[in-house]
Structure 1
Amino acid sequence: MADETITLYEAIGGDATVRALTRRFYELMDTLPEASHCRAIHPPDLTGSESKFYDYLTGYLGGPPVYVEKHGHPMLRRRHFVAPIGATERDEWLLCFRRAMDETIENPKLREIIWGPVEKLAFHMQNRKEGEQ
């Protein structure tokens, strides 16, 4: 009998887990003092950001390609270039993501599988050097 391959999306619990992860991520960003720089580059109302991040993560983790269907190719770096993302903002974003993931994804091995590419993506999104406006 052949092994069936499942996606990370399915392995972590599908839609319910991705929703919980994105909700917790933005709750943390909105409330943690140590995420204030990251929070400052987001709109006052995080509803739209949370919705788009949920759509993106759903497809990124192997679920339905919701983001692409709604918004086209992600082009993440280009879409985020209007926001000044330095090392501080990047690290605060990663802090929120790591905590949200730790709280919503039970399996530590799955968290580690997700963490590497997400951390690499966060470094790719940085578009400012420290001290650069």
Structure 2
Amino acid sequence: MSTFYDEIGGYATITRIVATFYEGVRSDEVLRPLYPEEDLGPAEVRFRDFLVQYWGGPKTYSEERGHPRLRMRHAPFAIGPVERDHWLQHFREGLDAVDLTPEQEEKFWDYVTHAAQFMVNTFD
């Protein structure tokens, strides 16, 4: 049975999306302070592995980190509408960097826009 992960090109596609996303984060004055690690590499690996697993690929994320618990893991960081919008801007760049069908792109974008809104924890 084919998964969405398989349909979009698997590991290579998600790796490209996430790498492009982090290229934007590296120089983003709003988002960069939300990443306490000087090296964004580990965060990039965690995000890639999460998306790989979410869309039907290997379960590396859960094997290494347990349940995603996204809100709990992001709770220490003030994430408001401005941060959400910057995050989505860079994710949009990631999606634009790969060759998805309009239907695949819509499915992916729907998920990330809902997830980004779910992470908002402040309106200050």
Fold-level match, TM-score > 0.5? yes
Structure 1 unaligned segments of length 5 or more: list them: none
Residues 1:20 and 2:9 are matched in the alignment: no
* Partner SS state of residue 127, structure 1: coil
Instruction: Answer yes or no: is 1:57 the counterpart of 2:40.
Output: no
Match of 2:66 in 1: 72
Which 5+ residue runs of structure 2 have no aligned equivalent?
Answer: none
Q: How many residues align?
A: 123
CA distance in 2, matches of 1:58, 1:7: 11
The CA deviation string for residues 5-57 of structure 1, in whole angstroms up to 9 with x for no partner, is 521111110111111111111012113xxx42122211322111101001100
Relative to the length of structure 2, the TM-score reads: 0.92
- Runs of 4+ with deviation above 6 angstroms: none
Distance in structure 1 (CA, Å) of the matches to 2:99 and 2:87: 17
Q: Does 1:40 align with 2:36?
A: no
TM-score calculated relative to the size of structure 1: 0.87
Q: Percent identity?
A: 39
Q: Which has the larger radius of gyration?
A: 1
Q: Larger relative contact order (C-alpha < 8 A, sep ≥ 6)?
A: 2
Q: Which residue of 2 aligns with 1:94?
A: 88
State how far apart, in whole Å, the 2-side matches of 1:38 and 1:105 are: 26
Q: Could you say what the CA RMSD is over the residues aligned between the two structures, in angstroms? A: 1.2
**CA separation in 2, counterparts of 1:84 and 1:77?**
11
